Amino acid sequence: MTRLERFDAWVAKGPFTPEDLGLYRIVYASLALLVVPDLTWLAAYPDFLLHPPLGPFQLLTGTPSANLLVGLEVVRTIVLVLLGLGVWTRWVSIAATAILVLTYGLIYSVGKIDHTILLVLTPLVLSFAHWGDRVSIDAWRTELARPQPQWPLRLLAAMIALPFFAVAFVKAGTGWLLWTGQAVHGQFLMYYEALDRTAWLAPLAAHLESRIVWETLDWLTVLVEVALLVTLRWWRAFRIALAFVVLFHLGVFLMLNISFAFNIVVYGAFVAWGARLPARRVWLCAPLVAVVVGLVVPASASRAAILFGATVIALVFLMGQLRDVYQSRSARV
Amino acid sequence: MTLPASDPRGSDGKRAARVAFALTFAVFVIGTPLSWWPGHEPYPALVMPAFPLYKGAVVRTAADATVSFRDGQTASVALDRLLPPTPLESTVVAARTFNNDEWTRDPRIVAWLRERLERQFPGRSVTAIDITWDLTASGDPSFTTEQVRTTHVEFS
Protein backbone atom coordinates (compact mmCIF):
# COMPACT_ATOMS: atom_id res chain seq x y z
CA MET A 1 0.00 0.00 0.00
CA THR A 2 1.40 3.40 -0.89
CA ARG A 3 1.39 6.25 1.62
CA LEU A 4 -1.45 7.92 -0.26
CA GLU A 5 -3.51 4.73 -0.16
CA ARG A 6 -2.82 4.39 3.57
CA PHE A 7 -3.95 8.00 4.00
CA ASP A 8 -7.11 7.30 1.97
CA ALA A 9 -7.87 4.27 4.12
CA TRP A 10 -7.22 6.21 7.33
CA VAL A 11 -9.52 9.13 6.50
CA ALA A 12 -12.24 6.72 5.35
CA LYS A 13 -12.41 4.99 8.72
CA GLY A 14 -14.77 6.27 11.36
CA PRO A 15 -17.69 5.49 13.67
CA PHE A 16 -20.00 8.35 12.67
CA THR A 17 -23.52 7.64 11.45
CA PRO A 18 -25.93 9.85 9.49
CA GLU A 19 -28.01 10.16 12.68
CA ASP A 20 -24.95 11.45 14.59
CA LEU A 21 -24.35 14.10 11.94
CA GLY A 22 -27.99 15.03 11.50
CA LEU A 23 -28.50 15.58 15.20
CA TYR A 24 -25.19 17.43 15.51
CA ARG A 25 -26.25 19.79 12.73
CA ILE A 26 -29.18 20.83 14.91
CA VAL A 27 -26.93 21.10 17.98
CA TYR A 28 -24.40 23.19 16.07
CA ALA A 29 -26.97 25.60 14.62
CA SER A 30 -28.80 26.04 17.92
CA LEU A 31 -25.66 26.67 19.95
CA ALA A 32 -24.13 28.89 17.27
CA LEU A 33 -27.25 31.06 17.47
CA LEU A 34 -26.48 31.52 21.18
CA VAL A 35 -22.75 32.30 20.90
CA VAL A 36 -22.50 34.51 17.81
CA PRO A 37 -21.84 38.12 18.78
CA ASP A 38 -23.83 41.28 18.45
CA LEU A 39 -22.53 43.40 15.55
CA THR A 40 -24.23 46.75 16.00
CA TRP A 41 -21.60 48.18 18.39
CA LEU A 42 -19.20 48.39 15.44
CA ALA A 43 -21.18 51.25 13.88
CA ALA A 44 -19.97 53.58 16.68
CA TYR A 45 -16.33 53.12 15.61
CA PRO A 46 -15.09 55.80 13.21
CA ASP A 47 -13.14 54.73 10.13
CA PHE A 48 -9.78 55.74 11.57
CA LEU A 49 -10.18 53.27 14.44
CA LEU A 50 -10.43 50.34 12.02
CA HIS A 51 -7.33 48.19 11.51
CA PRO A 52 -8.48 45.18 9.50
CA PRO A 53 -6.31 42.09 9.81
CA LEU A 54 -4.17 40.77 6.99
CA GLY A 55 -6.55 39.27 4.47
CA PRO A 56 -9.71 40.17 2.55
CA PHE A 57 -10.99 42.61 5.19
CA GLN A 58 -8.23 45.03 4.28
CA LEU A 59 -10.53 45.90 1.37
CA LEU A 60 -12.90 47.49 3.89
CA THR A 61 -13.22 51.19 3.01
CA GLY A 62 -15.06 52.35 6.10
CA THR A 63 -17.18 51.41 9.09
CA PRO A 64 -20.37 49.58 8.09
CA SER A 65 -23.58 51.42 8.94
CA ALA A 66 -25.82 50.31 11.79
CA ASN A 67 -28.52 49.32 9.29
CA LEU A 68 -26.12 47.11 7.36
CA LEU A 69 -24.93 45.46 10.57
CA VAL A 70 -28.49 44.78 11.68
CA GLY A 71 -29.20 43.36 8.24
CA LEU A 72 -26.19 41.05 8.52
CA GLU A 73 -27.37 39.87 11.94
CA VAL A 74 -30.79 39.05 10.46
CA VAL A 75 -29.24 37.17 7.52
CA ARG A 76 -26.94 35.28 9.89
CA THR A 77 -29.88 34.24 12.06
CA ILE A 78 -31.93 33.10 9.06
CA VAL A 79 -29.02 31.10 7.65
CA LEU A 80 -28.32 29.37 10.97
CA VAL A 81 -32.01 28.56 11.46
CA LEU A 82 -32.21 27.11 7.95
CA LEU A 83 -29.07 25.10 8.71
CA GLY A 84 -30.62 23.73 11.88
CA LEU A 85 -33.79 22.84 10.02
CA GLY A 86 -31.73 21.15 7.30
CA VAL A 87 -33.10 23.06 4.34
CA TRP A 88 -30.93 22.94 1.18
CA THR A 89 -28.30 21.87 3.66
CA ARG A 90 -25.21 21.80 1.47
CA TRP A 91 -25.70 25.34 0.13
CA VAL A 92 -26.90 26.73 3.43
CA SER A 93 -23.82 25.22 5.12
CA ILE A 94 -21.56 27.06 2.69
CA ALA A 95 -23.62 30.22 3.25
CA ALA A 96 -23.28 29.77 7.02
CA THR A 97 -19.50 29.70 6.81
CA ALA A 98 -19.54 32.70 4.48
CA ILE A 99 -21.77 34.83 6.73
CA LEU A 100 -19.79 33.83 9.83
CA VAL A 101 -16.46 34.71 8.15
CA LEU A 102 -17.97 38.05 7.09
CA THR A 103 -19.56 39.01 10.41
CA TYR A 104 -16.62 37.96 12.55
CA GLY A 105 -14.18 39.56 10.12
CA LEU A 106 -16.02 42.88 10.33
CA ILE A 107 -15.84 43.07 14.12
CA TYR A 108 -12.23 41.92 14.17
CA SER A 109 -11.43 44.91 11.95
CA VAL A 110 -11.11 47.03 15.08
CA GLY A 111 -7.79 45.25 15.57
CA LYS A 112 -8.49 42.35 17.91
CA ILE A 113 -9.08 38.81 16.64
CA ASP A 114 -10.86 36.31 18.86
CA HIS A 115 -10.16 32.78 17.76
CA THR A 116 -13.52 31.57 16.54
CA ILE A 117 -12.27 30.06 13.28
CA LEU A 118 -13.29 26.49 14.13
CA LEU A 119 -16.90 27.56 14.67
CA VAL A 120 -16.78 29.35 11.32
CA LEU A 121 -15.31 26.45 9.31
CA THR A 122 -17.46 23.65 10.73
CA PRO A 123 -20.51 24.09 8.44
CA LEU A 124 -18.32 24.16 5.32
CA VAL A 125 -16.41 21.03 6.35
CA LEU A 126 -19.48 19.09 7.40
CA SER A 127 -21.38 20.04 4.26
CA PHE A 128 -19.19 17.33 2.71
CA ALA A 129 -20.36 14.90 5.43
CA HIS A 130 -23.95 15.14 4.17
CA TRP A 131 -25.08 16.28 7.60
CA GLY A 132 -28.46 17.17 6.14
CA ASP A 133 -29.33 13.57 5.29
CA ARG A 134 -31.14 12.90 8.58
CA VAL A 135 -33.42 14.80 10.96
CA SER A 136 -33.91 17.55 8.40
CA ILE A 137 -36.42 19.10 6.06
CA ASP A 138 -34.24 17.79 3.20
CA ALA A 139 -34.67 14.22 4.51
CA TRP A 140 -38.40 14.79 4.98
CA ARG A 141 -38.70 15.66 1.30
CA THR A 142 -36.35 13.01 -0.07
CA GLU A 143 -35.12 9.98 1.83
CA LEU A 144 -31.39 9.78 1.12
CA ALA A 145 -29.64 6.44 1.55
CA ARG A 146 -26.04 7.23 0.70
CA PRO A 147 -23.03 6.06 2.75
CA GLN A 148 -21.77 8.31 5.54
CA PRO A 149 -18.48 10.01 4.53
CA GLN A 150 -16.03 9.92 7.42
CA TRP A 151 -13.23 12.05 5.98
CA PRO A 152 -14.86 15.42 6.83
CA LEU A 153 -14.86 14.45 10.50
CA ARG A 154 -11.22 13.43 10.23
CA LEU A 155 -10.50 16.78 8.57
CA LEU A 156 -12.32 18.70 11.30
CA ALA A 157 -10.34 16.76 13.89
CA ALA A 158 -7.12 17.75 12.13
CA MET A 159 -8.30 21.38 12.03
CA ILE A 160 -8.62 21.27 15.81
CA ALA A 161 -5.41 19.34 16.47
CA LEU A 162 -2.99 21.32 14.26
CA PRO A 163 -3.42 24.81 15.75
CA PHE A 164 -3.48 23.41 19.28
CA PHE A 165 -0.18 21.68 18.60
CA ALA A 166 1.25 24.93 17.23
CA VAL A 167 0.36 26.86 20.37
CA ALA A 168 1.80 24.11 22.56
CA PHE A 169 5.02 24.51 20.58
CA VAL A 170 5.01 28.27 21.26
CA LYS A 171 4.34 27.76 24.94
CA ALA A 172 7.13 25.23 25.31
CA GLY A 173 9.46 27.47 23.30
CA THR A 174 8.83 30.57 25.41
CA GLY A 175 9.32 28.99 28.81
CA TRP A 176 6.02 27.54 29.96
CA LEU A 177 7.72 24.31 31.02
CA LEU A 178 10.51 25.97 33.00
CA TRP A 179 10.39 26.01 36.77
CA THR A 180 11.56 29.65 36.79
CA GLY A 181 8.11 30.95 35.97
CA GLN A 182 4.51 29.75 36.31
CA ALA A 183 2.69 30.88 33.19
CA VAL A 184 -0.85 29.90 34.19
CA HIS A 185 -0.36 31.79 37.46
CA GLY A 186 0.86 34.85 35.56
CA GLN A 187 -2.09 34.67 33.17
CA PHE A 188 -4.47 34.27 36.08
CA LEU A 189 -3.04 37.33 37.88
CA MET A 190 -3.26 39.41 34.73
CA TYR A 191 -6.90 38.53 34.19
CA TYR A 192 -7.76 38.84 37.88
CA GLU A 193 -5.99 42.13 38.64
CA ALA A 194 -5.80 44.00 35.36
CA LEU A 195 -8.86 42.75 33.51
CA ASP A 196 -11.15 42.36 36.53
CA ARG A 197 -12.06 38.73 35.84
CA THR A 198 -13.08 37.90 39.37
CA ALA A 199 -16.05 35.56 38.90
CA TRP A 200 -16.55 31.86 39.65
CA LEU A 201 -13.43 30.30 41.25
CA ALA A 202 -11.10 33.22 40.58
CA PRO A 203 -11.24 34.57 44.17
CA LEU A 204 -10.36 31.09 45.44
CA ALA A 205 -7.51 30.72 42.98
CA ALA A 206 -6.14 34.09 44.14
CA HIS A 207 -5.23 32.44 47.45
CA LEU A 208 -3.39 29.55 45.79
CA GLU A 209 0.32 30.14 46.34
CA SER A 210 1.79 26.73 45.65
CA ARG A 211 4.37 26.93 42.84
CA ILE A 212 4.13 23.17 42.34
CA VAL A 213 0.40 23.36 41.65
CA TRP A 214 0.76 26.26 39.21
CA GLU A 215 3.72 24.63 37.44
CA THR A 216 1.71 21.41 37.15
CA LEU A 217 -1.05 23.39 35.46
CA ASP A 218 1.53 24.76 33.01
CA TRP A 219 2.59 21.24 32.08
CA LEU A 220 -0.97 19.93 31.88
CA THR A 221 -1.92 22.78 29.55
CA VAL A 222 0.85 21.94 27.11
CA LEU A 223 0.19 18.21 27.43
CA VAL A 224 -3.52 18.58 26.63
CA GLU A 225 -2.74 20.74 23.60
CA VAL A 226 -0.19 18.24 22.25
CA ALA A 227 -2.44 15.25 22.96
CA LEU A 228 -4.92 16.15 20.24
CA LEU A 229 -2.38 15.77 17.43
CA VAL A 230 -0.75 12.71 19.01
CA THR A 231 -4.12 10.92 19.27
CA LEU A 232 -5.47 12.09 15.91
CA ARG A 233 -4.76 8.72 14.36
CA TRP A 234 -7.23 6.81 16.56
CA TRP A 235 -10.82 7.93 17.01
CA ARG A 236 -11.24 6.56 20.52
CA ALA A 237 -8.03 8.17 21.78
CA PHE A 238 -8.86 11.47 20.07
CA ARG A 239 -12.28 11.58 21.68
CA ILE A 240 -10.73 10.89 25.10
CA ALA A 241 -8.19 13.69 24.52
CA LEU A 242 -11.01 16.01 23.44
CA ALA A 243 -12.95 15.20 26.61
CA PHE A 244 -9.90 16.30 28.61
CA VAL A 245 -9.70 19.47 26.52
CA VAL A 246 -13.28 20.23 27.56
CA LEU A 247 -12.24 19.87 31.21
CA PHE A 248 -9.27 22.14 30.48
CA HIS A 249 -11.62 24.77 29.05
CA LEU A 250 -13.78 24.42 32.16
CA GLY A 251 -10.77 25.12 34.35
CA VAL A 252 -9.81 28.14 32.27
CA PHE A 253 -13.38 29.45 32.50
CA LEU A 254 -13.70 28.98 36.26
CA MET A 255 -10.30 30.49 37.08
CA LEU A 256 -9.61 33.02 34.34
CA ASN A 257 -13.21 33.59 33.27
CA ILE A 258 -12.28 33.06 29.62
CA SER A 259 -15.01 31.26 27.71
CA PHE A 260 -14.14 29.08 24.75
CA ALA A 261 -17.77 28.21 24.14
CA PHE A 262 -17.32 28.64 20.38
CA ASN A 263 -14.72 25.83 20.40
CA ILE A 264 -16.88 23.65 22.63
CA VAL A 265 -19.69 23.84 20.04
CA VAL A 266 -17.31 22.37 17.45
CA TYR A 267 -16.12 19.54 19.71
CA GLY A 268 -19.75 18.38 19.72
CA ALA A 269 -19.20 17.04 16.19
CA PHE A 270 -17.43 14.05 17.72
CA VAL A 271 -20.21 13.02 20.08
CA ALA A 272 -22.26 9.94 19.14
CA TRP A 273 -25.53 11.87 19.28
CA GLY A 274 -27.39 9.13 17.43
CA ALA A 275 -26.54 6.63 20.15
CA ARG A 276 -27.95 8.89 22.88
CA LEU A 277 -30.91 10.65 21.28
CA PRO A 278 -33.74 9.40 19.06
CA ALA A 279 -33.50 10.89 15.58
CA ARG A 280 -36.90 12.60 15.67
CA ARG A 281 -38.18 15.60 13.76
CA VAL A 282 -39.18 17.26 17.05
CA TRP A 283 -35.56 18.33 17.41
CA LEU A 284 -36.08 20.66 14.46
CA CYS A 285 -37.72 23.08 16.93
CA ALA A 286 -34.37 23.56 18.66
CA PRO A 287 -32.95 26.33 16.43
CA LEU A 288 -36.18 28.30 16.72
CA VAL A 289 -36.09 27.91 20.51
CA ALA A 290 -32.46 29.07 20.42
CA VAL A 291 -33.48 32.28 18.62
CA VAL A 292 -35.97 33.06 21.39
CA VAL A 293 -33.52 32.10 24.14
CA GLY A 294 -30.87 34.30 22.52
CA LEU A 295 -33.20 37.29 22.79
CA VAL A 296 -33.92 36.90 26.50
CA VAL A 297 -30.87 35.19 28.02
CA PRO A 298 -27.55 37.08 28.21
CA ALA A 299 -24.85 35.63 25.95
CA SER A 300 -22.52 35.12 28.92
CA ALA A 301 -25.10 32.88 30.60
CA SER A 302 -25.59 30.86 27.41
CA ARG A 303 -21.84 30.38 27.03
CA ALA A 304 -21.53 29.21 30.63
CA ALA A 305 -24.42 26.79 30.13
CA ILE A 306 -22.79 25.39 26.98
CA LEU A 307 -19.53 24.87 28.84
CA PHE A 308 -21.18 23.16 31.81
CA GLY A 309 -23.31 20.99 29.51
CA ALA A 310 -20.24 19.94 27.55
CA THR A 311 -18.44 19.13 30.80
CA VAL A 312 -21.24 16.76 31.80
CA ILE A 313 -21.06 15.06 28.39
CA ALA A 314 -17.27 14.78 28.65
CA LEU A 315 -17.44 13.30 32.15
CA VAL A 316 -20.12 10.79 31.16
CA PHE A 317 -18.00 9.80 28.16
CA LEU A 318 -14.83 9.40 30.24
CA MET A 319 -16.68 7.33 32.85
CA GLY A 320 -17.98 5.15 30.03
CA GLN A 321 -14.43 4.63 28.80
CA LEU A 322 -13.29 3.67 32.31
CA ARG A 323 -16.19 1.25 32.60
CA ASP A 324 -15.26 -0.33 29.26
CA VAL A 325 -11.65 -0.78 30.39
CA TYR A 326 -12.78 -2.30 33.70
CA GLN A 327 -15.24 -4.64 31.99
CA SER A 328 -12.73 -5.82 29.40
CA ARG A 329 -10.16 -6.49 32.16
CA SER A 330 -12.76 -8.38 34.19
CA ALA A 331 -13.73 -10.44 31.14
CA ARG A 332 -10.08 -11.42 30.63
CA VAL A 333 -9.82 -12.52 34.27
CA MET B 1 -32.45 3.15 8.73
CA THR B 2 -28.87 3.23 10.01
CA LEU B 3 -26.27 2.94 7.32
CA PRO B 4 -22.96 1.16 7.89
CA ALA B 5 -20.40 3.48 9.39
CA SER B 6 -18.00 2.95 6.57
CA ASP B 7 -17.20 5.21 3.71
CA PRO B 8 -17.03 3.35 0.41
CA ARG B 9 -16.02 6.31 -1.68
CA GLY B 10 -15.32 6.52 -5.30
CA SER B 11 -12.32 8.38 -6.68
CA ASP B 12 -14.24 11.71 -6.35
CA GLY B 13 -14.50 11.29 -2.59
CA LYS B 14 -10.83 10.37 -2.29
CA ARG B 15 -9.81 13.33 -4.41
CA ALA B 16 -11.99 15.70 -2.36
CA ALA B 17 -10.45 14.43 0.88
CA ARG B 18 -6.89 14.77 -0.41
CA VAL B 19 -7.49 18.30 -1.73
CA ALA B 20 -9.25 19.35 1.48
CA PHE B 21 -6.44 18.06 3.68
CA ALA B 22 -3.77 19.62 1.46
CA LEU B 23 -5.54 22.99 1.48
CA THR B 24 -6.02 22.87 5.24
CA PHE B 25 -2.38 22.06 5.83
CA ALA B 26 -1.30 24.86 3.47
CA VAL B 27 -3.53 27.40 5.24
CA PHE B 28 -2.17 26.25 8.59
CA VAL B 29 1.48 26.40 7.50
CA ILE B 30 1.11 29.90 6.00
CA GLY B 31 -1.12 31.39 8.67
CA THR B 32 0.64 30.11 11.79
CA PRO B 33 4.02 31.88 11.45
CA LEU B 34 2.24 35.08 10.39
CA SER B 35 0.14 34.93 13.54
CA TRP B 36 3.35 34.94 15.61
CA TRP B 37 4.44 38.21 13.98
CA PRO B 38 2.83 40.97 16.12
CA GLY B 39 0.21 42.93 14.22
CA HIS B 40 0.24 40.55 11.23
CA GLU B 41 -2.16 37.80 12.24
CA PRO B 42 -4.31 37.09 9.19
CA TYR B 43 -8.04 36.47 9.18
CA PRO B 44 -9.49 34.08 8.31
CA ALA B 45 -6.72 31.69 9.42
CA LEU B 46 -6.43 28.40 11.25
CA VAL B 47 -4.77 29.67 14.43
CA MET B 48 -5.40 29.52 18.17
CA PRO B 49 -4.17 31.97 20.85
CA ALA B 50 -0.72 30.97 22.01
CA PHE B 51 -0.24 33.03 25.22
CA PRO B 52 3.55 33.16 24.77
CA LEU B 53 5.82 34.34 27.56
CA TYR B 54 8.08 37.35 26.98
CA LYS B 55 11.44 37.09 28.73
CA GLY B 56 9.87 34.34 30.84
CA ALA B 57 6.94 36.45 32.05
CA VAL B 58 3.29 37.03 31.23
CA VAL B 59 3.34 40.59 29.97
CA ARG B 60 0.68 43.08 29.12
CA THR B 61 0.84 46.39 27.33
CA ALA B 62 -1.28 48.97 29.08
CA ALA B 63 -1.71 52.70 28.78
CA ASP B 64 -1.94 55.35 31.44
CA ALA B 65 -3.44 58.57 30.19
CA THR B 66 -3.13 61.87 32.05
CA VAL B 67 -5.46 64.61 30.92
CA SER B 68 -4.60 68.29 31.51
CA PHE B 69 -7.30 70.93 31.89
CA ARG B 70 -7.33 74.68 31.33
CA ASP B 71 -7.55 75.30 35.10
CA GLY B 72 -4.17 73.60 35.51
CA GLN B 73 -5.49 70.43 37.07
CA THR B 74 -4.93 66.93 35.74
CA ALA B 75 -6.86 63.68 35.87
CA SER B 76 -6.12 60.06 34.99
CA VAL B 77 -8.24 58.01 32.67
CA ALA B 78 -7.88 54.49 31.25
CA LEU B 79 -7.41 55.01 27.54
CA ASP B 80 -9.51 52.03 26.53
CA ARG B 81 -12.46 53.48 28.48
CA LEU B 82 -12.57 56.32 25.96
CA LEU B 83 -13.41 53.92 23.15
CA PRO B 84 -17.00 53.11 22.19
CA PRO B 85 -18.15 49.90 23.90
CA THR B 86 -16.85 46.66 22.45
CA PRO B 87 -17.14 43.03 23.55
CA LEU B 88 -13.51 42.52 22.43
CA GLU B 89 -10.52 43.24 24.67
CA SER B 90 -10.54 47.04 24.68
CA THR B 91 -6.86 47.51 25.64
CA VAL B 92 -5.80 45.67 22.51
CA VAL B 93 -8.26 47.67 20.41
CA ALA B 94 -6.94 50.93 21.87
CA ALA B 95 -3.33 49.90 21.27
CA ARG B 96 -3.92 49.36 17.57
CA THR B 97 -4.56 53.07 17.11
CA PHE B 98 -2.78 54.77 19.99
CA ASN B 99 0.36 52.69 20.62
CA ASN B 100 2.37 54.65 18.05
CA ASP B 101 2.89 58.34 17.21
CA GLU B 102 1.23 58.33 13.80
CA TRP B 103 -2.20 59.12 15.20
CA THR B 104 -0.95 62.48 16.52
CA ARG B 105 -0.54 63.64 12.91
CA ASP B 106 -4.16 62.79 12.01
CA PRO B 107 -6.39 65.78 12.92
CA ARG B 108 -9.51 63.55 12.78
CA ILE B 109 -8.20 61.26 15.51
CA VAL B 110 -6.99 64.17 17.66
CA ALA B 111 -10.38 65.92 17.34
CA TRP B 112 -12.20 62.67 18.10
CA LEU B 113 -10.06 62.03 21.19
CA ARG B 114 -10.69 65.57 22.46
CA GLU B 115 -14.44 65.11 21.98
CA ARG B 116 -14.35 61.78 23.88
CA LEU B 117 -12.37 63.39 26.73
CA GLU B 118 -14.83 66.26 26.99
CA ARG B 119 -17.63 63.72 27.17
CA GLN B 120 -15.72 61.88 29.91
CA PHE B 121 -15.13 65.12 31.84
CA PRO B 122 -18.22 67.21 31.15
CA GLY B 123 -17.96 70.93 31.79
CA ARG B 124 -14.15 70.95 31.79
CA SER B 125 -11.88 72.30 29.09
CA VAL B 126 -9.28 69.74 28.00
CA THR B 127 -5.94 71.17 26.87
CA ALA B 128 -3.59 68.19 26.54
CA ILE B 129 -3.18 64.47 27.04
CA ASP B 130 -0.11 62.39 27.90
CA ILE B 131 -0.33 58.71 27.08
CA THR B 132 2.30 56.36 28.47
CA TRP B 133 2.41 52.77 27.25
CA ASP B 134 4.12 50.30 29.57
CA LEU B 135 4.94 46.62 29.35
CA THR B 136 4.19 45.13 32.74
CA ALA B 137 4.40 41.55 34.00
CA SER B 138 1.99 39.59 36.16
CA GLY B 139 3.23 37.42 38.98
CA ASP B 140 6.88 38.08 38.29
CA PRO B 141 8.40 40.62 40.68
CA SER B 142 11.79 40.29 38.96
CA PHE B 143 10.43 41.70 35.68
CA THR B 144 11.18 45.38 35.32
CA THR B 145 8.37 47.40 33.82
CA GLU B 146 9.42 48.60 30.39
CA GLN B 147 8.20 51.90 29.11
CA VAL B 148 7.25 51.46 25.49
CA ARG B 149 6.21 54.96 24.50
CA THR B 150 5.04 58.29 25.82
CA THR B 151 3.00 60.56 23.61
CA HIS B 152 2.06 64.15 24.38
CA VAL B 153 -0.66 65.93 22.42
CA GLU B 154 -1.83 69.51 22.87
CA PHE B 155 -5.42 70.25 21.91
CA SER B 156 -5.64 73.59 20.18
For residues A140-158, average pLDDT = 92
The pLDDT score that the predictor gives to residue A329 is 83
A57 touches chain B (CB under 8 A): yes
Q: Say which of A147, A164, A188 has its CB closest to residue B48.
A: A164
A174-191 pLDDT, tens digit each:
999 998 888 999 999 888
* Yes or no, beta carbons of B46 and A149 under 8 Å apart: no
For residues A125-135, average pLDDT = 96
For residues A78-107, average pLDDT = 98
Q: With 60 as the cut, is the pLDDT of residue B117 above it?
A: yes
Per-residue confidence at B61, pLDDT binned at 50, 70, 90?
Answer: confident
List C-alpha distances in Å: A87 to A60, A117, A231: 32, 24, 35
More confident residue, A317 or B61: A317
The pLDDT score that the predictor gives to residue B6 is 47
* Yes or no, beta carbons of B50 and A189 under 8 Å apart: no
The pLDDT score that the predictor gives to residue B3 is 39
Cβ-based contacts of A104 with chain B (< 8 Å): 43
CA B27 to CA A121: how far, in whole Å? 13
Query: Which ipTM was obtained for this model?
Result: 0.92
Q: Which residue of A has its CA nearest to B33?
A: A166
For residues A244-271, average pLDDT = 95
Distance from CA of A23 to the nearest CA of B (A): 13
DSSP letter assigned to residue B54:
B
CB A103 within 8 A of CB A76: yes
Q: Which residue of A has its CA nearest to B58?
A: A186
DSSP letter assigned to residue A269:
G
CB contacts under 8 A, A 256-285 vs B, are: 274
Q: Which residue of A has its CA nearest to B85?
A: A41
Distance from CA of A71 to the nearest CA of B (A): 19
Per-residue confidence at B23, pLDDT binned at 50, 70, 90?
Answer: very high
Distance from CA of A189 to the nearest CA of B (A): 6
Q: In what order do the strands lie in the sheet with B146-154?
A: B74-78, B58-69, B126-138, B146-154
Q: With 60 as the cut, is the pLDDT of residue B8 above it?
A: no
Question: What is the percentage of chain B residues whose pLDDT exceeds 90?
Answer: 60
Is A233 strand, coil or helix?
coil
Per-residue confidence at B38, pLDDT binned at 50, 70, 90?
Answer: confident
CB contacts under 8 A, A 105-144 vs B, are: 105, 107-108, 110-115, 117, 120-121, 125, 128
Q: What is the pTM of this model?
A: 0.93
